[in-house]
Structure 1
Amino acid sequence: MSVDFRDTIAIAAPAPVVGGIMNAVQEWPSWTASISTVERSSAGPLTVGESVVVTQPKLRPATWTVTKVDTNGFEWTSSSVPGVHNVGGHWAVDNGDGTCTAELTLSFAGPLARVVTLFYGSLIRRYIRMEAEGLRKAAEGAAAQGR
């Protein structure tokens, strides 16, 4: 059994622009206050198997391993909290008109998933919303500048 969180947001920018911003995880602290630091294990494009350490306000650092990646986003997993396995997805879905919808998901599974989400559910929802709004602003700004 898992506990799932999901947020979607319409973005007036093409999916590859949004995907590029999401895939540049080291830049996240510049556009969302829900992320303090991001440390990648390698340089260049985000790759499957890469480890990324993410620090967020009010939370312990979490090590994430990239499991899927393409030009429109990525998925990663973490088991930084004992008894809990997380899967996070960050995807831009093309709307066919030069815009996209970003889908941000975070799933918690394992024997302690319900307990963790009971205590942190409201913070998780707030951080996912902050990330969605920050992503929209960053992507629409980049699209307006022709990036």
Structure 2
Amino acid sequence: MSVDFRDTITIGAPATVAGEIMKAVQEWPSWTASVSRVERPGTGPLAVGETVVVEQPKLRPATWTVTKVDAHGFEWASASVPGVRNVGGHWAIDNGDGTCTAELTLSFAGPLARVITLFYSKLIRAYIRMEAEGLRTAAEARAQER
């Protein structure tokens, strides 16, 4: 059984622009208050198999491993909390009119998933919303620069 969180937001920028911003994970603290620090040992494009440590306010650092990546986003997984496996998705879907819809997902699976989400669901929803709003602002600003 899993517990899933999802947020979508329409962005006035192409999906490739939103995808670039999402995949530049080391830059997240500059556009979302939900992430305080990112440690990415790799350089260049985000790649499958790469591990990234993400620190967020009020939470323990989490190590994420990239499992999928393409021009419009990526997915990664973490097992930083014993008894819980997380999968986070960050995707931009092209709307065909120069805009895109970003879809941010976070699922919790494992024997302690229900307990963890019971205590943290309000914070999880707030952080996903912060990320969506910050992404929209960053992507629209970058699209204006081009």
Matched, 1:59 2:54: no
> Which residue in the other structure is 2:130 paired with?
130
Matched, 1:87 2:87: yes
Code of the residue aligned with 1:16 in structure 2: it is T
> Which residue in the other structure is 1:18 paired with?
18
Following superposition, the deviation at residue 41 of structure 1 comes to 2.5
Code of the residue aligned with 1:43 in structure 2: it is T
Following superposition, the deviation at residue 70 of structure 1 comes to 0.7
State how far apart, in whole Å, the 1-side matches of 2:106 and 2:41 are. Answer: 22
State how far apart, in whole Å, the 2-side matches of 1:82 and 1:72 are. Answer: 31
- The alignment partner of 2:35 has SS state of coil
State how far apart, in whole Å, the 2-side matches of 1:44 and 1:60 are. Answer: 27
Code of the residue aligned with 1:51 in structure 2: it is T
Matched, 1:75 2:75: yes
How high is the sequence identity, in percent, across the aligned residues?
79
TM-score, normalising length: structure 2:
0.99
- The alignment partner of 1:108 has SS state of strand
Cα offsets for 1:95-144 (capped at 9, x unmatched): 00110000000000000000000000000000000000000000000001
- The alignment partner of 2:96 has SS state of coil
Matched, 1:46 2:46: yes
Unaligned runs of 5+ in 1: none
The RMSD of aligned alpha carbons is: 0.4
Code of the residue aligned with 1:79 in structure 2: it is A
> Which residue in the other structure is 1:3 paired with?
3
- The alignment partner of 1:127 has SS state of helix
| Consecutive aligned runs of 4 or more in structure 1 exceeding 3 Å deviation | none
State how far apart, in whole Å, the 2-side matches of 1:40 and 1:68 are. Answer: 16
